Structure 1
């Protein structure tokens, strides 16, 4: 838990720093997650980072049934769920129109979630909005993925170098390379940032890479938000 919690805090603090350096025009830039502009994507990230507050206020399930890899399953990311996710983010973005509101809103969301996590006993279980019963540690791992991977999208939209923190990189790369499908084949020669971009569809696979992946039986996780 402590490793994952440190990664969550580090990545959120870094994004918070970035947000305080934006100007109003930055919020309207297009992102690699159409139809979202930067303001919409940030609304989605803010909601995801703060989601644990309500989850931890609810009764805990009896047992964990899903891990972080299982959370990112294709079955739950239906067109209807995806459409609702897009619409909610755009609506919430309209409620915080300025840079200051966006930065402060994100800070409140993730810091409230971190405080809620700190107050929990070891082994705490939670139930997600999709109905998954998970350990708190495994769900927090998904929050590191959300903030970190969407941070890559935001960096692309803002024409900046990725700011992914080392602790978040470790958590995300470990999940992508080990969960469900085993380690990434050595022949790919990817560094961890390339792994994240390729595995989440942020960078196209070459024919050679696809052949190596198919030969190894590698299965990517499904990232729908």
Structure 2
């Protein structure tokens, strides 16, 4: 009896490969995140040390403080994209934000932590360079990750696609914060602003009944701008929900 290489017919058929989502579904969260991060990088890259001391739209934060916060968000996303979770999912791209409310002790502690941590960078270009390379690494990881993969971040489980959406929203809102002192700087990406609007509408429970542009909606719904009396009347009972997160 001679040894022979087994033929394909000798193996039992394996299970069929799992169905793949349409290419649009697979790439849409990545494209939105890429657009948001690239738009923010275009503002950050030319900033100099003197620019880093300018105030931002975040109370108590200069540019360098805000950029350190954005760095930590990129790092968190990078870790999460490499941290598969068994499930079940307990957050999505909208409900993720239900934990983040302004005026809480956690929010105040976060502001102080960012200021202290950012102050450890003697030269702004060190912080700027670390942010830019970490953001690029996060985009690389996102492009290589199936949006349907379950991942873990901040004690919750969600799909990688929903995680990418939350990162897009965070970067877009902080882009608006950053350009508060740089009126000629380019604004956020349209796809990032669209993600912000979708998220805010989801938290509100209905499409916004006011004729606000995306930037005003983002600022007002996250506590950057107070509601006027007329806006509060138009919102009715929903005005009590503002800010929706911050």
Instruction: Identify the range of structure 1 (82-91 vs 35-44) with the bigger mean alpha-carbon deviation.
Output: 82-91
The one of the two structures with greater contact order (alpha-carbon pairs below 8 A, sep at least 6) is 1
Instruction: Identify the range of structure 1 (144-153 vs 78-87) with the bigger mean alpha-carbon deviation.
Output: 78-87
5+ residue gaps in structure 2?
1-25
Higher Rg: 2
- In the superposition, the TM-score normalised over structure 2's length comes to 0.79
- Residue 189 of structure 1 pairs with residue 218 of structure 2: no
CA offset at residue 74 of structure 1?
4.5
- Residue 213 of structure 1 pairs with residue 238 of structure 2: no
CA offset at residue 157 of structure 1?
2.7
Residue 127 of structure 1 is matched in structure 2 by 152
Residue 110 of structure 2 is matched in structure 1 by 85
Residue 172 of structure 1 is matched in structure 2 by 196
SS of aligned partner of 1:115:
helix
Among 11, 29, 40, which residue is 1:15 paired with? 40
Alignment partners' CA distance in 1, 2:172 and 2:100: 23
Alignment partners' CA distance in 2, 1:67 and 1:76: 17
- In the superposition, the TM-score normalised over structure 1's length comes to 0.86
Residue 138 of structure 1 is matched in structure 2 by 162
SS of aligned partner of 1:62:
coil
CA offset at residue 103 of structure 1?
2.5
Q: Classify 1:77/1:192 alpha carbon distance in 2 versus 1 (closer, same or farther; 3 Å).
A: closer
Q: Classify 1:14/1:2 alpha carbon distance in 2 versus 1 (closer, same or farther; 3 Å).
A: same
Alignment partners' CA distance in 2, 1:217 and 1:205: 8
Q: Classify 1:105/1:71 alpha carbon distance in 2 versus 1 (closer, same or farther; 3 Å).
A: same
CA offset at residue 134 of structure 1?
1.1
Alignment partners' CA distance in 1, 2:153 and 2:222: 21
Alignment partners' CA distance in 2, 1:79 and 1:216: 20
Alignment partners' CA distance in 1, 2:49 and 2:220: 31
Among 113, 118, 135, which residue is 2:143 paired with? 118
SS of aligned partner of 1:47:
helix
CA offset at residue 171 of structure 1?
1.4
Question: What is the aligned-residue RMSD (CA, Å)?
Answer: 2.4
Alignment partners' CA distance in 2, 1:3 and 1:16: 20
CA offset at residue 4 of structure 1?
2.3
